Structure 1
Amino acid sequence: MSKIHLLDPRLANQIAAGEVVERPSSVLKELVENSLDAGASRIDLDIEEGGVKLIRVRDDGSGIGKEDLPLALSRHATSKISELSDLEAVASLGFRGEALASISSVSRLSLSSAQEGGESGWVARSEGRDMAAVLEPIAHPRGTTVEVRDLFFNTPARRKFLRTEKTEFSHLEEVMKRQSLGRFDVGFSLRHNGRAVHSLKPAQSQLEQERRLASVCGPAFMENALFIDRSAVDLRLWGWVALPGFSRSQADLQHFYVNGRYIRDRLVAHAVRQAYRDVLFHGRHPAFVLYLELNPTSVDVNVHPTKHEVRFRDGRTVHDFIFRTLHKVLADVRPDTVAQNATTGVPTETMMAMPRQQEAMPLRETSPQSPAFLGGSPAAPPGGYQSSRPAANSSAGIGEQISAYQRLQAPSEAESDEIPPLGYALAQLKGVYILAENASGMVLVDMHAAHERITYERMKAARDGEGLRSQPLLVPQAMAVSEREADCAEQHAEVFAQLGIRVERASEESLVVRELPVMLAGGEVEQLVRDVLADLLEFGTSDRIAAHMNEILSTMACHGSVRANRRLSIPEMNALLRDMEATERSGQCNHGRPTWVQVSMTELDKWFLRGR
């Protein structure tokens, strides 16, 4: 008697449902994607009891013909691809054709639809215990309605794993939000137990899109978001990234789309994390809504049952493009639009740095506001800001500082009629903070954190200008590796050379490290090379050396910057403010802490109950 037999169709679909239908939100995702593929301009969602009792999705798409309704509920039946080559350039969200069959195997499903010009609509009903669909005529407008009732009614073990109604609905709502951010041109509505939760109109213009973003992601995100749109060859990255000051305790506000498909991808996450590395506080997560557009043939979407993961055919190019785009955008942020934003009543904690889309300003070492003008030198070691300020006990100290401040203002006003973004220094608080006044109100600056960033960026620029200088190891270091790692090191010898490392293959499973960058002398050589190899094997690139060197530079900058409790003169404080305005990433110190905050006149008036 044969031990191998064909599975019952119902059982086969329930096994497939185990991959596709994890919980009610999984059902909603599949149904909404079908509506989007059908060209819907509006999608209405009705949920009851967290999706367990009812999930209804109604759209105004192209609809399904009578003869296709039973097929739509069959396993691996689809109109989206027809042959294997179609998988190489999938343009639709769905393509496997197993979703409806899997859902109908664990629920009571009805599929109603009508096409433009059809005599009437038709409904196909299917229940888990009987896979044969029953067709009936029905009055229905153009489009499709899918009703999924009593989810997991015939698989009680699956139902036991569901959470509370509130939890399941929160997952459903998250799916709706993700889909609405992926398709601004489509209107969405969501009701739960008869109560309207969301109603989003189609958003065509950037302003309308930002209103939807504020509704879905919260107004605080939009108040701190920077719009980007960059293209290179066949790649385009656009969307919104939050400034580093608007970081999160968890990665709950990260939305990334590839050709309209929401994805979670390790390569993308690594590129974003690398771009934020220099400006994000330890343990915090960036927030963003980003869209990557590329040729469909350059990405494989058929790598995971839920289609949340993709595989890029040239991962290294995609990784570098995402990283360089975000790195440039974050570096170009300057504190020069505070005046416009401060009047909107934005909370103080969100006003650390506001967006500016323009090229970085060169440092003017000999300008009236520079350390050189104040007695320092462009080549002076970090921590400069030297001046001939009066001794602390001098009775003329205050008068001389006021005179210096007035002299400083004169050349400043000659250059521009506008007040600088960070304004002019008024005083120093407890030897730690600089108090300044700008057009919007009051600015508080952590002088050590600010100078630390300025010093750090200058040191990086000096390093990049001179290149990475290497030195031979007195005793070359041998290390045992796998054959795969040895092959990688041999193939990427040029990459290692660019990083200042000379690695040679000694045998099939061993390497010899002969040179290292001067700055990394005394470091953990073997672990560093292994980390670089791990990055090259996984991402095709490595930033370990740069990261490690930046950590060293950051430590040096920290020790070389002005310390707390050091008294600065008014000219010195103004020089620091001007340098902040001209320095990349000056909104955060090397450790991701904010360097300054803006307090608007509106906030000050509230504190003192003015106007009430």
Structure 2
Amino acid sequence: MNKIRLLSPRLANQIAAGEVVERPASVIKELLENSLDAGAKQLQVDIEQGGVKLMRVRDDGGGIDKEDLTLALSRHATSKIYHLDDLEAVSSLGFRGEALASISSVSRLSLTSSTGGDCAWQAQAEGREMNTEIAPAAHPRGTTVEVRDLFFNTPARRKFLRTERTEYGRIEEVVKRLALSRFDVGISLRHNGRQIHAYAAADDQARRERRVAQICGPEFIKNSLAIDMERVGLRLWGWVALPAFSRSQADLQHFFVNGRAIRDKLVSHAVRQAFQDVLHHSRHPAFVLYLELDPASVDVNVHPTKHEVRFRDSRMVHDFLFKSLHHALAEVRPAAAVAEAAVPIESPSGLAVGEFAGQASMDLRAQPPRELSLSSPAPASLFSPNLPRPSERVSLSAAEQVAAYGRLQPAPEPSSNEPEEIPPLGFAIAQLKGIYILAENAAGLVVVDMHAAHERITYERLKQTVDASGVQAQPLLVPEAIAVSEGEADIAEQQTEVFSQLGFELQRSGPEAITIRQIPVMLANGNAEALVRDVLSDLTTYGTSQRIKEHMNEILATMACHGSVRANRRLTLAEMNALLRDMEATERSGQCNHGRPTWVQQTLVELDKLFMRGQ
């Protein structure tokens, strides 16, 4: 055995650099976070050759005193925390005091700073311990850090770097994430002497949305929902894209906890569950979300790169994220989307609302067709049979529910106090190929996939019926024993009430065994053991689970699909209009049960472009 010896400071710093400084983008992240912690309001970033030749970050923060410059480049030296209590509630982006020491051990680093006096001071380090000499320099209040020739003394690590374009792209992503995290800070980015980005400080909602559009694209902000929800010391705000703006990959997902960009499986799981009912399984949601909570409630000292965090009460955070996003998506109705697309009665083309080329003008506001069924605050839907109210407990078989919800009812007589305004989805004017409903609203033309729309309406009503009547359960003739870990058996014993509400009866039958005695009727043909194991796994990892609910919803979705109007079924105008009114009153009606859109809007402006009107 070799002798045990202390590592040299240089070798220790280079080992730490392996954790902190993976590539040029890692350096930029650390330097920018230091600048923000120093109170900077303007950041200038200059890059040459993808960061390998030069990275320079200048800020207008508080600066560093002359006597502190030596410590600033020393390992485990920081102004962020002083006591153990500070580590328990970290409110700064950095706190370990390793970044500058690690960076200087694998590069040629220059640190120039001023606290606002007449003189600034500069310290330098070059792949070894810092020079003790501090030289005067010219610099305004703030700090500039120059990092040259990254990995010049560790060629094995330098050869693992990618092309200049790739490394610069990663730096750009870091700058964009930071620009999303701090709207109050102005940021500029230059590469090889050319200005790439300039983000002005945003102090109001309009400017913040403009910055989000610059970074995430104008289509994201155009198709997103602004949310701001607060409960039990937690606040979630930001923007979440509507399901129709889903992505083929998870490339537009930004989540910040107290201003820190993170990647967390608990957050991802909560968001995915919130979208489960409205998103196709192969698509990914897009969002820019900010979670604010007491710093003492989150542990950021989990990983050297600080990308991961650990919540003190993970179940509470998960439930809050899920319920907030689930509620926000449920409240999206056609009225909001149509209001944004609506145009004045006289469009640029000169056509009044209700007027189509080659046809006589028909102002639907003044002349609603006689057979239309205008809804009241509590409409009697043509697609709604006389089922018990949600407050009444019911017990319908699957076949009965499908038959009931799929039945078309006679149109009610129009009331004498019919509203004159055009509803969000307008009034039906035709049915196309037995598949689509064409309707005219204040914005132009609405095209509805009638099966997809009715499927969502039926599905939501089936869910309401099940929620109101409770989950029907049946005891197993032969109870099923399954072997689990001791921890899972403990959870099953502790969460008896949760399983009971979902129709399961579990009993602990040994230190590492549980017995399934009762299951939901709807899951009688499913694999109960596998489902229970998945739920226990979720409860262990996230503190909560929606798997049983999801399986039940899958069955209800299948029932809704079979109970909805089919293609090639001819509908009357009254039936089509009843469907439109039901869509306006139904949660998540913009997507069918499989995540496909149920309707699209073509505004008059868009239609004019198709025919080059006014050009």
TM-score where L is the length of structure 1: 0.91
Aligned to 1:167: 166
Q: Which moved more, 1:1-10 or 1:155-164?
A: 1-10
Deviations 1:189-217 (A, max 9, x none): 11111111111111111111111111111
Aligned to 1:382: 405
Aligned to 2:320: 321
Is 1:44 matched with 2:67? no
Is 1:85 matched with 2:97? no
Check conservation: 2:224, 2:240, Cα contact below 8 A.
yes
1:508 alignment partner, one of 504, 508, 511? 511
Aligned to 1:18: 18
For the residues of structure 2 that align with 1:525 and 1:582, how far apart are their CA atoms? 36
For the residues of structure 2 that align with 1:304 and 1:225, how far apart are their CA atoms? 32
Q: Which letter maps to 1:286?
A: P
Check conservation: 1:365, 1:371, Cα contact below 8 A.
no
Q: Which letter maps to 1:532?
A: V
Check conservation: 1:368, 1:411, Cα contact below 8 A.
no
1:267 is displaced (CA, Å) by 0.6
Aligned to 2:546: 543
Is 1:571 matched with 2:571? no
Aligned to 2:367: none
For the residues of structure 1 that align with 2:2 and 2:588, how far apart are their CA atoms? 70
1:367 alignment partner, one of 371, 376, 379? 379
1:285 is displaced (CA, Å) by 0.7
Check conservation: 1:251, 1:285, Cα contact below 8 A.
yes
Q: Which letter maps to 1:518?
A: V
Aligned to 1:9: 9
For the residues of structure 2 that align with 1:280 and 1:161, how far apart are their CA atoms? 39
Q: Which letter maps to 1:83?
A: H
3-state SS of paired residue (1:513) = strand
1:470 alignment partner, one of 469, 473, 484? 473
For the residues of structure 2 that align with 1:411 and 1:175, how far apart are their CA atoms? 60
1:519 is displaced (CA, Å) by 1.2
For the residues of structure 2 that align with 1:285 and 1:459, how far apart are their CA atoms? 26
Q: Counterparts of 1:26-175 in structure 2 under 5 Å?
A: 26-116=26-116, 118-175=117-174
Aligned to 2:347: none
Check conservation: 1:275, 1:324, Cα contact below 8 A.
yes
For the residues of structure 1 that align with 2:480 and 2:521, how far apart are their CA atoms? 16
Check conservation: 1:364, 1:370, Cα contact below 8 A.
no
Check conservation: 2:9, 2:129, Cα contact below 8 A.
no
Q: Unmatched 5+ residue regions in structure 1? A: 346-362, 389-406
For the residues of structure 1 that align with 2:128 and 2:182, how far apart are their CA atoms? 36
Check conservation: 1:385, 1:575, Cα contact below 8 A.
no
1:165 is displaced (CA, Å) by 1.0
1:8 is displaced (CA, Å) by 1.4
Check conservation: 2:430, 2:573, Cα contact below 8 A.
yes
Is 1:190 matched with 2:189? yes
For the residues of structure 2 that align with 1:288 and 1:587, how far apart are their CA atoms? 18
Aligned to 1:354: none
Q: Which moved more, 1:180-189 or 1:379-388?
A: 379-388
3-state SS of paired residue (1:571) = helix
Check conservation: 1:280, 1:592, Cα contact below 8 A.
yes
1:387 is displaced (CA, Å) by 4.2
Q: Which letter maps to 2:483?
A: A
Aligned to 2:395: none
Check conservation: 2:121, 2:136, Cα contact below 8 A.
yes
2:603 alignment partner, one of 593, 600, 605? 600
Aligned to 1:527: 530
Structural RMSD (CA)? 1.8
Check conservation: 2:258, 2:290, Cα contact below 8 A.
yes
Is 1:431 matched with 2:442? no
Q: 1:310 to 1:368 in 2, by over 3 A?
A: closer
For the residues of structure 2 that align with 1:106 and 1:521, how far apart are their CA atoms? 63
1:366 is displaced (CA, Å) by 7.0
Aligned to 1:201: 200
3-state SS of paired residue (2:254) = strand
1:365 is displaced (CA, Å) by 9.9
Aligned to 1:587: 590
3-state SS of paired residue (1:45) = strand
3-state SS of paired residue (2:131) = strand
For the residues of structure 2 that align with 1:462 and 1:310, how far apart are their CA atoms? 40
For the residues of structure 2 that align with 1:307 and 1:213, how far apart are their CA atoms? 23
For the residues of structure 1 that align with 2:135 and 2:311, how far apart are their CA atoms? 45
Aligned residue-pair number: 571
Check conservation: 1:371, 1:377, Cα contact below 8 A.
no
For the residues of structure 1 that align with 2:465 and 2:57, how far apart are their CA atoms? 59
Check conservation: 1:10, 1:131, Cα contact below 8 A.
no
Q: 1:167 to 1:578 in 2, by over 3 A?
A: same
Q: Which letter maps to 1:381?
A: A
1:134 is displaced (CA, Å) by 3.7
1:169 is displaced (CA, Å) by 1.0
1:342 is displaced (CA, Å) by 2.4
Check conservation: 1:126, 1:133, Cα contact below 8 A.
no
1:225 is displaced (CA, Å) by 1.1
Q: Counterparts of 1:178-577 in structure 2 under 5 Å?
A: 178-342=177-341, 367=379, 370-371=382-383, 377-378=386-387, 381-387=404-410, 411=415, 414-577=417-580
For the residues of structure 2 that align with 1:579 and 1:298, how far apart are their CA atoms? 43
Q: 1:168 to 1:366 in 2, by over 3 A?
A: closer
TM-score where L is the length of structure 2: 0.90
Q: Unmatched 5+ residue regions in structure 2? A: 345-374, 389-402
Check conservation: 1:369, 1:574, Cα contact below 8 A.
no
